[in-house]
Amino acid sequence: MQTRFTEDELAVQDAFRTFFANESPSTVVREAERAGGFSADLWNGLAAMGGPGMALPGSVGGGDATLCDLAVVADVYGAHLAPVPLVEHAVAARLLATIGGYDELVVELANGGSLATMALRPLVDGIARFVPAGAVADVVLGHVDDGIVLDRSMPPGDALPNTGGLPLAHRRLANNLISVDHVAWSHAVDEWRALTAAAYVGLGRRVIEMGVEYSRERIQFGVPIGTFQALQQGYADASTRMEGAHLLAHRAAWALETRQPDASRLAGIALLFAAEAARFATDRSMQYHGGYGFSEEYDVQLYHRRATAWILQLGDPSLEYARLADAEFGPVDGGKAA
């Protein structure tokens, strides 16, 4: 694994950084939040950039990019809180391409003509709860005991109320079994973990930048508050954590791309560490903003709410810790190791 971006990855980063900076400022994020957490205009622009299908095979209209390339874009996407389900769509489309037999649909997904997502939580009586982008996706993949099911139906449009202003919705999935490849499903969820970790890195780094900018402008006792050692230490701690999260997220993406034996473990660790690091960064930035940090007119609260909400789409984080513990030490039954 390389610890620095290649020239190609830097070019991808620069292109999408320019796109999101121009097309997804905080005004667009706020407007989308009022409309249920999704911007159709931004999605159309992203499709014109080739974003939805960049990591799909060229044979189905994709860009033949790697998962590592997609992680670079997820980082920039997270930094701008872009109100489009880039991660969920990309992972679902890659899963369908892996399963095979759905090339026509995958072509639609590659060009952004249809929007796909994955029901990350187990189905209960045929209902997937809190589906990421479930309010706007017309293609939903889910997992049942028999395998992978696909539902293609009109999205409800209305999002469930949630802290992050995300387009979450409950979806009843048709029992349309398309594959019995449980391994492919697990790999796709791991891709979601790694890409979400990368998005958290972008979020955390950007909120630190916002906090530092504010600390240079805010005057107290006749000097900028950024000269106070306590603030400097807080930002230094946050930055160190985000650098660690960056390395973990991209190591996880590389491990998944190259099918390393510890890929699933790395994806889970990367997600948990990046989520905690981003929460730490947003907590510090909000604290150093003082009362303004809780005001809706300041963007830092947008970052704090999303840092809280993104990981919850997978479920209670304690379940992810338990999954990793079981994989590392063996499952626990009745309080005793099995």
Q: What pLDDT, on a 0 to 100 scale, did the predictor assign at position 1?
A: 65
What is the number of domains present in the chain?
1
Answer whether residue 267 is part of any domain: yes
Mean pLDDT of 51-74: 96
Q: What pLDDT, on a 0 to 100 scale, did the predictor assign at position 337?
A: 42
Q: What is the CATH number of the domain that holds 303?
A: 1.20.140.10
Q: Hey, is 82 helix, strand or coil?
A: coil
Q: 289's torsion region: left (phi>0), alpha (psi -120 to 50) or beta?
A: alpha
Answer whether residue 29 is part of any domain: no
Answer whether residue 39 is part of any domain: no
Answer whether residue 199 is part of any domain: yes
Task: Determine phi and psi for 240, rounding to 5 degrees.
Answer: -65, -40
Residues 96-135 have pLDDT tens digits of 999 999 999 999 999 999 999 999 999 988 899 999 999 9
**What is 88-151 written as a DSSP string?**
HHHHHHHHHHHH-S-HHHHHHHHTTSS-EEE--SPPBTTEEEEETTTTT-SEEEEEETTEEEEE
Please state, for a pLDDT cut of 70, what percent of the chain lies above it. 97
Residue 84 token pair: 């489009």
Answer whether residue 317 is part of any domain: yes
The residue that leads in pLDDT, 236 or 216, is 236
10 pLDDT more than 80: yes
Answer whether residue 204 is part of any domain: yes
Answer whether residue 42 is part of any domain: no
Looking from the CA of 99 toward its CB, the CA atoms found within 13 Å total 26
Answer whether residue 196 is part of any domain: yes
Taking the model in full, what pTM does it have? Answer: 0.94
Q: What pLDDT, on a 0 to 100 scale, did the predictor assign at position 334?
A: 56
Q: Which domain holds residue 237?
A: 185-331
Q: What pLDDT, on a 0 to 100 scale, did the predictor assign at position 338?
A: 39
